[in-house]
Structure 1
Amino acid sequence: MPIIAVTCGEPAGIGPEISLKAAWEMRARVQTVLIGNAALLSQLAAQIDPSMCVAAVDRQALELPENQISVIDVALDADVVRGRLDARNGRFVLQTLDIAIEGALQHRFDAIVTAPLQKSTINDCGIPFTGHTEYLAEKTATPQVVMMLAGGTPRPLRVALATTHLPLKDVPAAITFDSLMRTITIIHHDLQAKFGLPHPRILAAGLNPHAGENGYLGREEIDIIAPALAAARNKGIDVSGPYPADTLFQPKYLENADCVLAMYHDQGLPVLKHASFGRGVNITLGLPIIRTSVDHGTALDIAAKGLGHADHGSMIEAIKLAASMAAASAHSQA
Structure 2
Amino acid sequence: METKTKIKIGISLGDFNGIGPEVILKTLADNRILNFCNPIIYGSGQIVNKMRKSLALENFSFQQYKTAEAVENKRVNVVNCWDEDYELTLGKPTPESGRAALRSLQAACQDLKSGLIDGLVTAPIDKDNIQADEFKFPGHTEYLTSYFDSPESLMFLVSEKLRVATVTGHLPIKDVPQKLTQELLIVKLSLLLNSLQKDFGILKPRIAVLGLNPHAGEKGLLGREEEEIIIPAINQLKNKGHLVFGPFPADGFFGMANYHQVDAVLAMYHDQGLIPFKTLAFETGVNFTAGLPIVRTSPDHGTAYDIAGKNQARETSFREALFLACDIIRKRRMVPVSPI
| TM-score, L = length of structure 1 | 0.92
**Aligned mates of 1:88, 1:58 — CA distance in 2:** 20
Count of matched residue positions in the alignment of Structure 1 and Structure 2: 328
CA contact under 8 A between 1:283 and 1:293: conserved in structure 2? yes
Q: Give the 3 Å change call, closer, same or farther, for CA 126–29 of structure 1 in structure 2.
A: closer
CA contact under 8 A between 1:91 and 1:125: conserved in structure 2? no
1:132 maps onto 2:140 in alignment: yes
3-state SS of paired residue (1:149): strand
Structure 2 partner of 1:112: 120
Q: What whole-Å deviation, never above 9, does each CA across 1:226-257 have from its counterpart, x for those lacking one?
A: 00111122334321111111222266632331
Give how far 1:95 is off.
1.9
CA contact under 8 A between 2:289 and 2:296: conserved in structure 1? yes
**Aligned mates of 1:143, 1:10 — CA distance in 2:** 28
Q: Give the 3 Å change call, closer, same or farther, for CA 178–125 of structure 1 in structure 2.
A: closer
CA contact under 8 A between 2:40 and 2:68: conserved in structure 1? no
Q: Give the 3 Å change call, closer, same or farther, for CA 211–76 of structure 1 in structure 2.
A: farther
Structure 2 partner of 1:144: 152
| Matched AA of 2:131 | N
Q: How does 1:252-271 map to 2 (within 5 A)?
A: 253-271=258-276
3-state SS of paired residue (1:270): helix
1:5 maps onto 2:16 in alignment: no
1:80 maps onto 2:72 in alignment: no
**Aligned mates of 1:246, 1:123 — CA distance in 2:** 35
| Matched AA of 2:211 | G
Q: What whole-Å deviation, never above 9, does each CA across 1:3-61 have from its counterpart, x for those lacking one?
A: 21111100111111111111222233332111111111023224431111111135342
| Matched AA of 2:225 | E
Structure 1 partner of 2:312: 309
CA contact under 8 A between 1:116 and 1:296: conserved in structure 2? yes
Give how far 1:319 is off.
0.6
**Aligned mates of 2:304, 2:113 — CA distance in 1:** 30
1:97 maps onto 2:105 in alignment: yes
CA contact under 8 A between 2:208 and 2:266: conserved in structure 1? yes
CA contact under 8 A between 2:17 and 2:97: conserved in structure 1? no
Q: Give the 3 Å change call, closer, same or farther, for CA 200–62 of structure 1 in structure 2.
A: farther
Q: Give the 3 Å change call, closer, same or farther, for CA 9–252 of structure 1 in structure 2.
A: closer
**Aligned mates of 1:140, 1:124 — CA distance in 2:** 19
Q: Give the 3 Å change call, closer, same or farther, for CA 106–194 of structure 1 in structure 2.
A: farther
| TM-score, L = length of structure 2 | 0.90
Structure 2 partner of 1:69: 76
CA contact under 8 A between 1:8 and 1:16: conserved in structure 2? yes
**Aligned mates of 1:55, 1:43 — CA distance in 2:** 15
| Matched AA of 2:249 | P
1:23 to 28, 38, 48: 28
**Aligned mates of 1:91, 1:235 — CA distance in 2:** 47
Give structure 2 stretches of 5+ with no counterpart: 1-5
1:273 maps onto 2:273 in alignment: no
CA contact under 8 A between 1:84 and 1:300: conserved in structure 2? yes
Give how far 1:165 is off.
2.2
Q: What whole-Å deviation, never above 9, does each CA across 1:47-89 have from its counterpart, x for those lacking one?
A: 43111111113534243242x3211111165433222222134
Give how far 1:91 is off.
2.9
2:328 to 319, 325, 329: 325
CA contact under 8 A between 2:139 and 2:170: conserved in structure 1? no
Structure 1 partner of 2:44: 37
| Matched AA of 1:320 | F
| Matched AA of 1:123 | Q
| RMSD over aligned Cα atoms | 2.0
Q: Give the 3 Å change call, closer, same or farther, for CA 76–178 of structure 1 in structure 2.
A: farther
Q: Give the 3 Å change call, closer, same or farther, for CA 326–251 of structure 1 in structure 2.
A: farther
1:295 maps onto 2:303 in alignment: no
Identity over aligned residues, as a percent? 37
3-state SS of paired residue (1:119): coil
CA contact under 8 A between 1:38 and 1:74: conserved in structure 2? no
Farther-moved stretch of structure 1 (189-198 vs 54-63): 54-63
**Aligned mates of 2:7, 2:73 — CA distance in 1:** 14
| Matched AA of 1:318 | A
Give how far 1:213 is off.
1.3
| Matched AA of 2:272 | Q
